[in-house]
Amino acid sequence: MILSRLNQTRSYFTSMIIKPVQCLKDNYSYILLDQTSKQAAFVDPVEPQKVLKALEDYPDYKLSMILTTHHHWDHAGGNLKLLNQFPITCYGGSDKVEGVGHILKDNDTVQLGDLTIKALSTTGHTMDHICYYIEHGQDRAVFTGDCLFSSGCGRFFEGTPVDMWKALSKLLSLPDDTKVYFGHEYTVSNLKFAQHVEKDNQDIEKKLEWANQVGCTTPSTVANEKLTNPFMRVNLPAVSRLIITDASNASVTDVLGKLRKMKDSF
């Protein structure tokens, strides 16, 4: 159920390497590397010098692009500094994204060497939020920014529960073994809330014990989120009735909205 400790620092795939870089107080930026072309992409590089320093571990690789999940400063705030240093393109979901050179729509693709990166429009946290999904052979990964966290999800700053459920449903439909690279290290606090909602969920209890031990919990997996993330479980009657009084007459988005309000005041 729980991912190995190896995945907490870097994850190796057949043709790609993904390296988390901890930034600010609790943010994650990521370096995505295509081993065939020796090209690199930065995902949400809010502290450029820190991410560039991490890239020095891979001296054969050349920075080729920036992938931005949404326009908030703690994700897009480093883009211009990198664009002033490198002749690269910044991708994002709207012109609100600092330095954006190419706006992506749902299911648009970007090529990084042999890796095809698919943009998934995942509105809710912001209306320009993009998750980036990569499938190469049997290996799958998704960068979820502030849409999906480990055992949690982002606040609905610009969207509605309907928007967020549409976004989460896209992520739920991904293969179970897809590794989930999220934007913030909120896992322990998210799991404490998940325990508050589902007191008898043993998967949540085990994951919380693990998260307290390892500190850095990225990546998760879609399979694990289905077990431990209350926001990905609101469609289950056994969970929805823990959240809303008359769950049988409530929609999934009603339950999701109530759950988010519970989390906001937890």
3-state per-residue secondary structure call for the chain: CCCCHHHHCCEECCCEEEEEEEECCCEEEEEEEECCCCEEEEECCCCHHHHHHHHCCCCCCEEEEEECCCCCHHHHCCHHHHHHHCCCEEEECCCCCCCCCEECCCCCEEEECCEEEEEEECCCCCCCCEEEEEEECCEEEEEEECCEECCEECCCCCCCHHHHHHHHHHHHCCCCCCEEEECECCHHHHHHHHHHHCCCCHHHHHHHHHHHHHCCCCCEEHHHHHHHCHHHCCCCHHHHHHHCCCHHHCCHHHHHHHHHHHHHCC
Helix axes 252-264, 187-197, angle to 10 degrees: 120
User: Which of 75, 128, 129, 163 is an active site residue?
Assistant: 75
Active site residue 129: no
Please give the Cα distance from 204 to 190 (Å, whole number): 10
- Tens digit of pLDDT for each residue in 156-189? 999 999 999 999 999 999 999 999 999 999 999 9
Is a pLDDT exceeding 80 seen at residue 122?
A: yes
pLDDT, mean of residues 126-154? 96
User: Which of 44, 125, 128, 129 is an active site residue?
Assistant: 125
Active site residue 128: no
Please give the Cα distance from 249 to 155 (Å, whole number): 25
Active site residue 70: yes
What does the pLDDT read at residue 58?
97
Is a pLDDT exceeding 60 seen at residue 7?
A: no
User: Which of 34, 72, 128, 163 is an active site residue?
Assistant: 72
User: Domain 5-264 sits in which CATH superfamily?
Assistant: Ribonuclease Z/Hydroxyacylglutathione hydrolase-like (3.60.15.10)
Active site residue 125: yes
User: Which of 34, 44, 146, 254 is an active site residue?
Assistant: 146
What does the pLDDT read at residue 14?
60
Active site residue 75: yes
Domain residues of the chain, as ranges? Answer: 5-264
Active site residue 163: no
pTM equals 0.94
What does the pLDDT read at residue 236?
96
Beta bridge partners of 214: none
Region of poorest pLDDT, from 64-78, 145-159, 165-179, 244-258:
244-258
Active site residue 196: no
